[in-house]
Amino acid sequence: MLRNREFRQFVILFSLMAAVVVILGFEINRLAGILATFSVVAFGTAFFAFTKARYKSIAQISDQIDLVLHNADHLYIGESDEGELSILHSEITKMTLRIREQNDVLKKEKEHLAGSLADIAHQLRTPLTSVNLILSLLANNPDENQRKAFVRETEELLVRMDWLITSLLKLSRLDAGIVVFQSEKIDVNNLICAALRPFLIPMELHDIDFQIDAPKGMIIKDDSGWLSEAIQNILKNCIESAGENGKIEIICTDNPLFTEITIHDSGGGFGKEDLPCLFDRFYRGKNPNATGYGIGLSLCKMIITQQGGTITAKNHQQGGAIFAIRFPK
């Protein structure tokens, strides 16, 4: 306590005042002097005991804070009586709980980052291994037709790797929260046509029929570029599922609560065990023949949910899969 400058100043001031009071008491008469001395000693003793108890409580709080700073897992700050220390106890407890929560979040993010990096390395390693193998075959194969086939296969792998890296960069930007979405009025018909444009030739080659049922003048407010990216990821999934001579149906509806875009394909639908995990990052399903990276639907969900929308996926009653995107008003 004596290390506290204010406490030392108070002790000096109290001692001077006590000396004056005792002297004045004895000047009046002996009884008054004894009473003054007893009062000064009693008050000084009570104040010292009270101050020592407060310092003890403050020291305990200081020890708890020190434990917090050293990442202790189990902390407890006991309750105190009503007063300033009780308020301090309450604030320290709140701080401790907040630090624990942030520490848990950071641990989970660190584990998630480590897992994501491992998944990314695995996803990139597979096509790189294939490219290296093809290049070795290309160097040792004199047949011109096979060499052209190897070149085409290498180009396809490089395109897939470029898409993978681009998608991973977009995911990382969305995770970091640095994407600024532009809220603008979007005509739903124009949005769907823009999303379909890159797939028109592949759908024609695979004889995939598509139908669009969207009322004219239907408007939503979102970022058209990112939303088109999300719909393209769904369409890509539906085209792969529909296969040869398949069918894709896009229906848009509007009501006072929300605007909805549903995309239905004629493929095989989802396995029951896959439904809860469809939008999980790097989830490729239980099908051993799956060729995707498990990124497209995860990216799609992040784009839509971060703009206030929702997306669900399930098996259609008539067969195939159906995705439903809703934008609340």
**In whole angstroms, what is the distance from residue 324 CA to residue 314 CA?**
9
Q: Is residue 86 part of a domain?
A: no
Residue 198: CATH number of its domain: 3.30.565.10
Helices 296-305 & 144-176 angle (0-180, nearest 10): 30
Q: Is residue 33 part of a domain?
A: yes
Give residue-wise pLDDT tens across range 161-172: 887 788 878 887
Bridge pairing between strands 258-265 and 310-315: unpaired
Shared domain check, 241 and 172: no
Q: Is residue 140 part of a domain?
A: yes
Domain boundary among 176, 198, 220: 176
The tokens describing 38, both together, are 């007893």
Task: Count, in order, helices (H) and strands (E) of the chain.
Answer: 8, 7
Dihedral over alpha carbons 253, 256, 258, 260 (to 10 degrees): 0
Domain boundary among 76, 103, 132: 76
Q: Is residue 147 part of a domain?
A: yes
Shared domain check, 191 and 167: no
Q: Report the chain's terminal Cα–Cα distance, integer Å.
A: 63
Give residue-wise pLDDT tens across range 275-284: 888 888 777 7
Shared domain check, 69 and 194: no
Q: At 286, is the pLDDT very low, low, confident or very high (cuts 50, 70, 90)?
A: low
**Which whole-number Å values give the CA distances from 293 to 27, 65, 88, 161, 176, in the listed order?**
97, 46, 52, 10, 21
Bridge pairing between strands 209-213 and 247-254: parallel
Q: How many CA atoms lie within 13 A of 322 on its CB side?
A: 14
Shared domain check, 300 and 206: yes
Shared domain check, 220 and 151: no
Q: Is residue 170 part of a domain?
A: yes
**In whole angstroms, what is the distance from residue 308 CA to residue 302 CA?**
10
The tokens describing 140, both together, are 């040792």
Domain boundary among 50, 76, 102: 76
Shared domain check, 161 and 189: no
pTM, to two decimals: 0.61
Contacts of 137 (CB under 8 A, 6+ apart): 150
Residue 166: CATH number of its domain: 1.10.287.130
Shared domain check, 324 and 191: yes
Give residue-wise pLDDT tens across range 105-116: 888 777 766 766
Per the DSSP assignment, residues forming a β-bridge with 173 are: none
State the total domains in the chain. Answer: 3
Give residue-wise pLDDT tens across range 223-243: 999 999 999 999 998 998 888
Q: Which H or E element spans position 311?
A: strand 310-315
Regarding predicted confidence, which is higher, 103 or 113?
103
Q: What residue numbers bound the domain in which 277 lies?
A: 184-328
Q: Is residue 104 part of a domain?
A: no
Q: Is residue 88 part of a domain?
A: no
Shared domain check, 211 and 311: yes
For residue 1, the model assigns a pLDDT of 61
Closest to 274 in 3D by CA, of 286, 289, 292, 288: 286
Contacts of 191 (CB under 8 A, 6+ apart): 220, 224, 227, 228, 231
For residue 168, the model assigns a pLDDT of 79
Shared domain check, 188 and 169: no
Shared domain check, 131 and 199: no
Does residue 272 register a pLDDT over 90?
no
Shared domain check, 291 and 255: yes
Shared domain check, 227 and 161: no
Top mean-pLDDT range of 65-69, 292-296, 307-311: 307-311
**In whole angstroms, what is the distance from residue 22 CA to residue 40 CA?**
8
